[in-house]
Amino acid sequence: MLTCKHVETVENSVQNVLITGGSDGIGLGLAARFQAGGSTVLIAGRSLAKLETAAEAYPGLTTFAGDVGRPESREELAAHVRATMPGLDLLINNAGVQRRTALAADDAPWKQRQAEIDILLAGPGASHGVPVDDFCNTVVRVLATGAAEEIGYGPTGTPEFHARLMAGATAFRESATRFPVAVYG
């Protein structure tokens, strides 16, 4: 289990927070920071043992055991949130898995590949290799103070990246209008 070395406390107006993939790592780091700032925090995760350990480490933290990669589990989580936290202010989709394999050599069964896709699309989250404490402190500081409603972190969260992205989108739109496109159907 992640033990946060430096939990930066940020007073915030975020009352109720749900964090998927919250039983360890980045998710638990974010949960600790929001809870320290006065939020009510619900973490969701697949491992009941990890969820229990997290709840013991951070009294007052509430938990939900389920797999966001399964549609029925997502429905159960939604029902649980409606029943226990109807005033949800913030959802942090942090759940994720990653199989590290060379794409050309990947011979995993489709069921395993599909599970990875389902979890990542239902709850993406990555720290881009930065120290977990730095990542969590930055995320909480931005979200808790209302500086942004959503954030990116790492290369995709920089003004330089955003400027390049917008320039590319503009160039694409301009080039798309130069040539007629046939509509099939």
For the chain, give every domain's residue range. Answer: 16-99+108-154
The predicted model scores a pTM of 0.61
Successive 10-residue mean pLDDT values, the chain, 185 residues: 53 81 90 90 95 96 91 88 87 74 70 66 41 65 66 58 73 69 58
67 with 73: CB under 8 angstroms?
Answer: yes
- What tokens were used for 176? 């798309």
Report the pLDDT value the prediction gives residue 129, as an integer from 0 to 100. Answer: 43
Dist CA 165 CA 61 (whole Å): 38
pLDDT at 64: 96
Q: Which pLDDT score is estimated for 103?
A: 58
Per CATH, the architecture of 16-99+108-154 is what? 3-Layer(aba) Sandwich (3.40)
Q: Rounded CA gap, 90 and 74, in Å? A: 17
Is there a contact between 97 and 89 (Cβ–Cβ < 8 Å)? Answer: no
Q: What is the CA radius of gyration of the chain?
A: 19
User: Residue 56: what pLDDT?
Assistant: 96
